Structure formats: C-alpha cells, structure tokens
Amino acid sequence: MYNSFIAFVFFAISTNILYAENFKFVEETIDDIHAALGSGKMTCRQVVSGYLDRILTYDKDKKLNAISFINQKALAKADDIDEKIKSGKKLGSLYCAPILVKDNYDTHDLPTTGGSIALKDNYPPDDAFMVEKLRAADAIIIAKTNMAEWAFSPRQTISSSFGTTANAYDLDRVPAGSSGGTASGTAASFGVAGMGSDTGNSIRGPSSHLSLFGIRSTIGLTSRDGVIPLAWDRDVAGPMTRTVRDGAKIFNVVAGYDPKDPMTELGKGKRKDDYTEYLNKNALKGMRIGLLRALVFTDDADPEVTQLFVKAVEDLKEAGAVIVESFEINDLDAHIGALHFCNRFRYDMRQYLKTLGDNASIQDVMEVYSSGQYSVSAKGGLERFGAGLLDIHPRDDIPPCLEFPNHLGRNAFKEDVEGAMDKYNVDVIIYPSWTNPPALLSRAYTDYKGDNSQVIAPATGLPAATVPMGFSHGNLPAGLQFLARAFQEELLFSAAYAYEQKTKHRKAPKIFSEIQRENIIMKVSK
C-alpha cells in the first residue's frame, strides 16, 4: 500500500510544499487548522499534505507501524473543502480535520480488516455511523490505523494484517491495545485526532500509554453501527485526541441516536447539545471527587506512577476540588471477581458479517481459526471467544446470558458504584488509568498489570475518560482516569479539561519531531 501510494503523494503535494511558517503540524489542534485556513495563508490541501508527509516520513522508517491504509482520496477531499471555502459555502464543524480511524470502523472506500488478514480485501458497502458523521462534518479520513487482531488484546497491538505497533514515546514499548495504532499515530501527529473502540480498555488504555485524552461514553449514548464487534453489549466507539477540547468537538459530531444501533434508545434525550460549553478551566472549583484507593495503592503498582497520582490529587486540590479520600464502593472486590461477561463474539461477528452481503470473505469467524489465518497473539482469543454459539443469541442460550442493561450482576455493580457516589456526594471518581508504565514489547504479557480501565466502566456501562497525568521513568506516559454517573459525560469533559489546563502534562514524543520542510520532497520521493 505504501509503495503504490508514495508516487501518488509525491505528484500531488510536490507543488504544495510551502506551508505557513507558523503552522508546525506537531501538536496542532482542530482550532489551529481552522485559524490557519481562515487566515488565508494555508489551504486544506497543504494541511492534509503536511500530515501525509509525516506518515510517509516516519511510520515505516521509524518502525512505529501505526498506519494500515492511507486514504488516496484525502487530497481530493481537501480540494473540495478548499473550493467550499473559496465559494463561501457552509462548512461542517470539523472541516479539514485529518482523522485517523481504527481498522474496525467500516469505510466504504478503504478496507476494514479488524486486524485480520482474512478480511484484507473487505470493502464494506457503507460507512460506520461515526465515519458518516465525521465526513458530514467535513472531516477527512486520512488513514486507517493498525489494531490488535479482532480487538482481543488490551496488552499490545499486533495484527495478522499489519504486524506490531510500537509506542511513539519508546519504540521498545507497547502502546497497549486494541486501539494502539490510533493512539501512537495520534501522539505522533499523523493526524489531528483519532477514533478508537473500547470493549474493556481499548480507548482509555492506549490513550493513557500515549499521553492522550480518550473517552468511553455511557453505553447507549453513542452508536457502534459499522464497528466490527467484540462484545456488542460492552463495545463503545469514540475519539482519542491530544487535547480535551478536540475530544469534545469530535464527540459533538459522533454522539447521539442511531436507529441502526438499538442500544442508543437508552440515550435518547440525554446527550448535551454542545460538550464544549462545559470546558471551563475553573470547573474543578468545588467539585467533589472520590479517590478510589483500592485502584491506586496496590501491591504491584509502580512507585513512580503512584507518585504521579499523588501529585495529581494535590493539583486537583489546588484547583479547588474537594477530594473525598474515604470513598469506597460496596463489594468492589466481589464485583471485580465476578464474570459479568457473555461470550458472544462469534454470534456478534455473524451479525456483522451479514451486513457485508455477498462481499463477505467469511461467514463465520471460526473459519479463520480453521484456516490458520491469524497471528500467534490472536490464537487464544479465537479459541476462547469463538467457542460461543453462531446463530443463537446469548439470551436464548442455556443458561441464558442476559445482555446489558438487563444483566443482574452488571446492574448490581452499577447500583453499588452510583450508590457510593450518592453516599459520599461525589461528582466523579478518580484513579490511575494504569498503575504501571507501558510494558516492553518483549514482555507485553508477563508485565501486563495495573490496567484499571477494565475494572468498572465496561461492566457497569458508566462513562470514563483518561487525561495525561505526566511521565514516569523519564518519558513513559501515565493517565488519570475520571468516572461519572450514567450520561454525565459533561462532567468528564469539564473535569479533564480543567485538570489539563492546570497541569499541561501533554508533550509530543521527541522521536516524531517537526519535519524540516526542505527535506520533504527527498523523503517522500524515495
């Protein structure tokens, strides 16, 4: 894909190599792009060309391996937006924002593999709901990103389609999974923002490991239509961004009711009109925050990460927050130890494959297992998750496994979490997203520990978000996680934004610095 695309890009951007000197691409935001376009000193073609330069210069040469497919129509879309600007036509709220999209989102004009070589030629008949919304807002899907095969792994990002993705801050370390390609690509400024999915950890874990903001919304507030499933009653899709404001701007576009996703009936009337209205740097003043000690001071917690969390608590206090250090959740250990999980991957994949119609290369995901077309890292997941029934819904199984929101165990867990928040009168709960730094790629499984994102939000359906908390061991990112009551995402945005503005922890990875413009043509033409 890269070799066939390099000549195209060279031809397309070689005459557009001069960019506005004050637009540096690294760490730029959606607002920065709009300001550059509004000044008349930049075109959308130049913006998109600059991010394509970064992908082609860095991704393979540095062995980051974040990118799966580059969108060959990205520059044409940029030209369309330039024409809109020139003619004074109305623009969508994300105009000319180059977005990286995880390779489990359906895109009609790019393959969607789910990290599996078995789907290498899968061109879905239409876009996922969120992709459709992004395009309607004039965002540009610049590339698809590598992912853990079938989204099985929270530990690392390895696919049979595109291999192993590294951490943009340390190429010997994991970016976590399964949205590791989106996380590393966004951190390296291969686009202005990215889209991931989260069944257990896969937005917030990689975001924490790459110093990003990432949000898992309340189940029912956002659609999963057109996102290859892992567990339909747990899956959530959403943004991964370098700033909280960019996350809110994208969330405004992608959140809301979708008739193709019946779960979004739960969220009708509950989304806010504009989540950016809650971005107040003083929002922490008077906010009551529950400190969940059980997920902080564990025996295997890394001391440097723990110290970052202790400093985060002090920063929250300085910002005016009231920290409730006695906060506890009733029966937390029992809830964590309970299964709360329906093995429905095979069934859910069957429903997804049906949407591909005659273009589906497989009809049953277990055909992949039989064929041997999978990476070593996916073998255990296929054996575990593929053991479920093919055409029988989990609720009709014997014994039945009721899906959210009718699962008794998950409801009890949710009630105990929100009950504790009511008891202690707290607005949000905090804990480290991980209590350990990103593991070495060579020790991804043996050193997997401290993944707090798996613990509460997925089982309860409650919303949670991670925001940069600083760096341990020199340059290894850590994240602070906020969790709120159902459909109170505005509190997550406001708390995360206020903390972000106070601390300014986000720093770009030094490995992926600004490209020297005089060297671009040479690099791209190689």
Token pair belonging to 452: 């707090």
Instruction: Give rounded-to-5 percent helix, strand, coil for the chain.
Output: 40, 15, 45
Residues 290 and 426: beta-carbon distance below 8 Å: yes
Give me the pLDDT at residue 15, please: 39
Q: What angle do CA 504, 37, 250 make, to 5 degrees?
A: 50
* Paired strand residues for 255: 222
Q: What is the mean pLDDT of residues 354-358?
A: 93
Residue 93 CA to residue 253 CA, distance in Å, equals: 8
Going by C-beta distance under 8 Å and a sequence separation of 6 or more, which residues neighbour residue 347?
388, 389, 390, 391, 392, 393, 394
Going by C-beta distance under 8 Å and a sequence separation of 6 or more, which residues neighbour residue 161?
68, 103, 113, 115, 116, 117, 119, 120, 146, 149
Q: What is the mean pLDDT of residues 437-443?
A: 98
Q: Is the pLDDT of residue 181 over 80?
A: yes
Instruction: Kindly write down the DSSP assignment for every residue of 449-499, as one continuous string.
Output: --BGGGTSHHHH---EEEEEEEEETTTEEEEEEEE-STT-HHHHHHHHHHH
Domain range summary for the chain, segments of one domain joined by +:
2-263+278-340+405-504, 345-396
Confidence of residue 525 (pLDDT cuts 50, 70, 90): very low
Residues 189 and 210: beta-carbon distance below 8 Å: no
- Phi and psi torsions of 203, nearest 5°: -95, -50
Picking from 340, 313, 505, the residue whose alpha carbon sits closest to that of residue 406 is: 340
Say how far residue 379 (Cα) sits from the centre of its chain.
Answer: 24
Give me the pLDDT at residue 244, please: 99
Confidence of residue 20 (pLDDT cuts 50, 70, 90): low
Residue 495 CA to residue 483 CA, distance in Å, equals: 10
Token look-up 């073609």 returns 45
More confident call, 3 vs 401: 401
Give me the pLDDT at residue 11, please: 42
Q: Is the pLDDT of residue 12 over 80?
A: no
**pLDDT tens, residue by residue, 372-383:** 999 989 999 999
Give percent of the chain with pLDDT exceeding 70. 94
Residues 253 and 261: beta-carbon distance below 8 Å: no
Q: What is the mean pLDDT of residues 348-370?
A: 94
Give me the pLDDT at residue 341, please: 82
Residues 190 and 143: beta-carbon distance below 8 Å: yes
Give me the pLDDT at residue 14, please: 44
- Please compute, for residue 474, the number of CA atoms within 13 A of its CA located in the half-sphere on the CB side: 4
Give me the pLDDT at residue 403, please: 83
Q: What is the mean pLDDT of residues 54-76?
A: 98
Give me the pLDDT at residue 343, please: 87
Residue type, 209: H
Q: What would the CATH number be for the domain defined by 2-263+278-340+405-504?
A: 3.90.1300.10
Give percent of the chain with pLDDT exceeding 90. 88
Strands of 325-441, DSSP E: 428-432
Residue 373 CA to residue 116 CA, distance in Å, equals: 8
**Residue 449: burial class (beta carbons within 10 Å; 0-12, 13-18, 19+):** middle
Give me the pLDDT at residue 294, please: 97
Q: What is the mean pLDDT of residues 152-173?
A: 97
Confidence of residue 130 (pLDDT cuts 50, 70, 90): very high
Q: Is the pLDDT of residue 5 over 70?
A: no
Q: Is the pLDDT of residue 519 over 60?
A: no
| Total residues belonging to the chain | 526
Confidence of residue 387 (pLDDT cuts 50, 70, 90): confident
Token pair belonging to 11: 């031809």
Residue 120 CA to residue 161 CA, distance in Å, equals: 7
**pLDDT tens, residue by residue, 489-499:** 999 999 999 99
Q: Is the pLDDT of residue 319 over 60?
A: yes
Average model confidence (pLDDT) across the chain: 93
**pLDDT tens, residue by residue, 66-96:** 999 999 999 999 999 999 999 999 999 999 9
* Paired strand residues for 478: 470
Q: Is the pLDDT of residue 202 over 70?
A: yes
Residue 452 CA to residue 470 CA, distance in Å, equals: 17
Instruction: Give Cα separations from 98 to 60, 95, 358, 389, 394 (angstroms).
Output: 19, 9, 32, 40, 39
Confidence of residue 23 (pLDDT cuts 50, 70, 90): confident
Instruction: Kindly write down the DSSP assignment for every residue of 37-92, as one continuous string.
Output: HHTTS--HHHHHHHHHHHHHHHTTTTT---EEEE-TTHHHHHHHHHHHHHHT----
Question: Range with the lowest mean pLDDT among 317-321, 329-333, 470-474, 516-520?
Answer: 516-520
Residue 221 CA to residue 223 CA, distance in Å, equals: 7
Residues 243 and 251: beta-carbon distance below 8 Å: no
Q: What is the mean pLDDT of residues 273-285?
A: 98
Q: What is the mean pLDDT of residues 40-46?
A: 95
**pLDDT tens, residue by residue, 226-271:** 999 999 999 999 999 999 999 999 999 999 999 999 999 999 999 9
More confident call, 17 vs 163: 163
Residue 459 CA to residue 104 CA, distance in Å, equals: 22
Give me the pLDDT at residue 446, please: 94
